[in-house]
Amino acid sequence: MPPTIPTSFVPHTASSPARRFRSEITGVFGYFAYGVLVIVFLLAIGVFSYGRILAFSKVAKDVELKSARAAIVPATIENFVRLRDRLDSSTTLIGGHDAFSGFFSAIEKLMPSTVRFTTLHLALADAGAAKMEGAGVAKSFNALAAASNAFASDGRIKDAIFSNISVNKDSSVSFAISAMLDPDLLTFVPTAQLPTAAAPVAPSPASASATSSAPLL
């Protein structure tokens, strides 16, 4: 029998593989978009839940704050405020108070036993600087040099100048001295922190005259 010859047919176009490839790419992007949407949805639920937790926590803290305020006694607050004001005033007064106890304690430790002051004058300038002027007697030049070295090593008695040096009949050395004092020597220190052998504080914060407690020659 003769072969059957179709009366019509649809030719295959060359663009069919390209269309299939585009369909696959579109499907992948679709899945990716759905995945992103799910993640965003989960994040939105998490943010909403965290916001609700914070809201409940705020309500609980407000209740605790109200309870704490209700338990406060106004008289206790007034006492604390008054105490704070007193402490602030005391700090201001102590911070502006000058005392020479530290200076006398330093002199007692630095001065050799063979050197003594016969006169001593301490004065405060307007800028808060303190100056020492005085006169004394040393057993020898070596004792006077030892005192000068002690002042220089300590550093709190600055620019010490020894003048009017003269030798007495008993071979002792008379001298005059002038020096500037470090502010730390004039800072007020509570009595409990002062050395037990500290000399009495000078009565006037502006100036003071005293005789050294070092033993006589």
Q: What is the pTM of this model?
A: 0.43
Angle separating helix axes 141-154 and 101-110, nearest 10 degrees: 130
- 3-class SS string, 144-159: HHHHHHHHHHHCCEEE
In the chain, the largest separation of any two C-alpha atoms, in whole Å, equals 166
CATH topology classification for 101-209: Alpha-Beta Plaits (3.30.70)
pLDDT of the residue at 107: 84
> How much is the pLDDT for 185?
75
Q: Which residues pair with 103 in a beta bridge?
A: none
Task: Provide the pLDDT for residue 189.
Answer: 61
Q: Domain residues of the chain, as ranges? A: 101-209
User: What per-residue confidence (pLDDT) applies to 152?
Assistant: 85
- Please say whether the beta carbons of 105 and 214 come within 8 A: no
Q: Are 157 and 110 in contact (CB under 8 A)?
A: yes
pLDDT tens for the chain, residues 1 to 217:
555 665 655 555 544 555 555 666 676 777 778 888 889 989 999 898 898 899 889 888 988 888 888 887 788 888 888 898 888 887 777 666 667 777 888 888 888 888 888 898 888 776 667 888 889 899 888 888 888 888 888 888 888 888 888 888 888 889 999 888 887 777 666 554 444 444 444 444 333 333 333 333 3
Q: Which among 184, 181, 171 has a CA at the least distance from the CA of 207?
A: 181
User: What's the pLDDT at 209?
Assistant: 38
- What are the φ and ψ backbone dihedral angles of 123, each rounded to 5 degrees? -140, 145
pLDDT at 96: 63
